[in-house]
């Protein structure tokens, strides 16, 4: 029962955060800014990567002359295009997240905490430059580790007959890690060690699955993704900070 409640809390707090942000002009602006940064990187990298599509396809398989085989070549070409777009999306996420989005996310989280509590709790004062370096250093393992785990599962799925099972596990882990990227903002700002923050996420796994479900909704997932720091911060202040 507790797991179900925790799961439902994830759904509720994501909606609550989106509603909260829509009513505050500063949060609304930052969410839209994050949305356009991610889209801009995705378009730019997709254009660059796909521009090498013909060369890569030529290396994999030269276009056959037979009209009976050429349709298979077009199918393989389409698959490669999808793979390239997927790679571009992952790279866009990593680059925008480490160098741009983390600052916007942290700022959205700070604004939310300030509105809800009337103050910003920071255990120790550090310079602006050191704070930026700290955020980047914390974001690298939080972003890279999930990608490595998911790639490992993807490879295992390819080389074993249990591909569909690993695909389901990978999807579940993807939304968990994306949710954690948001719920981890406040404890990171309060300088909790990475190990403690990771186990905090594991102890609230059902919540992260519920919170991350919105990231599976096509088209709308980018909007939910952009405003997720608000709902995650509200949850941390309401629930996790009192445990």
DSSP state of 214: G
Could you tell me the sign of the dihedral formed by the alpha carbons of 139, 143, 149, 152, in that order?
negative
Q: Are 212 and 145 in contact (CB under 8 A)?
A: no
pLDDT tens sequence across 26-38: 999 999 988 888 7
Would you state the pLDDT for residue 109?
A: 92
Q: From CA 229, how far away is CA 193, in angstroms rounded?
A: 20
Lookup: tokens for 187: 């404890």
Question: How far is the CA of 85 from the CAs of 45, 143, 163, 168, in angstroms?
Answer: 9, 19, 21, 21
pLDDT tens sequence across 70-108: 777 667 777 767 766 666 666 676 677 666 667 888 889
In the Cβ-directed half-sphere of 232, how many Cα atoms lie within 13 Å? 31
Q: From CA 82, how far away is CA 50, in angstroms rounded?
A: 10
Q: Are 113 and 237 in contact (CB under 8 A)?
A: yes
For residue 124, the enclosing domain spans: 2-242
Question: How far is the CA of 128 from the CAs of 29, 101, 131, in angstroms?
Answer: 22, 17, 5
CB-count burial class (<10 Å; 0-12, 13-18, 19+) for 71:
exposed
In total, how many domains does the chain have? 1
Q: Are 20 and 233 in contact (CB under 8 A)?
A: no
- What DSSP line would sit under 7-49, residue for residue? HHHHHHHHHHHHHHHHT-HHHHHHHHHHHHHHHHHHHHHHHHH
DSSP state of 61: -
Q: Can you give the pTM of this predicted structure?
A: 0.73
Q: What residues in the chain have per-residue pLDDT under 70?
A: 53, 56-61, 63-66, 73-74, 80, 83-91, 93-94, 97-101, 122-126, 128, 131-132, 136, 139-140, 143, 147, 150-151, 153-154, 157-164, 166-167, 218, 241-243
Q: Are 231 and 16 in contact (CB under 8 A)?
A: yes
């Amino acid at each position: 029962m507790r797991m179900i409640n925790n799961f439902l809390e994830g759904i509720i707090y994501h909606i609550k955060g989106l509603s909260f942000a829509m009513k505050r002009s500063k949060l609304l602006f930052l969410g839209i800014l994050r949305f356009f940064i991610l889209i801009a990187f995705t378009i730019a990298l997709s254009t660059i990567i796909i521009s090498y599509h013909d060369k890569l396809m030529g290396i994999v398989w030269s276009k056959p002359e037979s009209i009976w085989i050429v349709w298979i070549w077009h199918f393989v070409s389409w698959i490669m295009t999808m793979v390239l777009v997927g790679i571009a999306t992952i790279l866009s996420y990593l680059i925008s997240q480490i160098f741009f989005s983390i600052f916007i996310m942290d700022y959205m989280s700070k604004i939310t905490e300030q509105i809800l509590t009337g103050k910003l709790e920071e255990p120790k004062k550090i310079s602006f430059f050191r704070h930026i370096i700290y955020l980047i250093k914390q974001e690298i393992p939080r972003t890279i580790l999930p990608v490595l785990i998911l790639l490992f599962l993807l490879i295992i799925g390819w080389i074993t007959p249990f591909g569909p099972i690993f695909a389901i596990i990978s999807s579940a882990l993807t939304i968990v890690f994306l949710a954690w990227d948001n719920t981890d903002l406040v404890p990171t700002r309060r300088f909790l060690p990475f190990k403690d923050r990771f186990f905090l996420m594991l102890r609230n796994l059902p919540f992260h699955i519920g919170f991350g479900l919105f990231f599976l909704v096509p088209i709308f997932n980018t909007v939910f993704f952009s405003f997720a720091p608000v709902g995650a911060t509200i949850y941390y202040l309401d629930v996790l900070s009192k445990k």
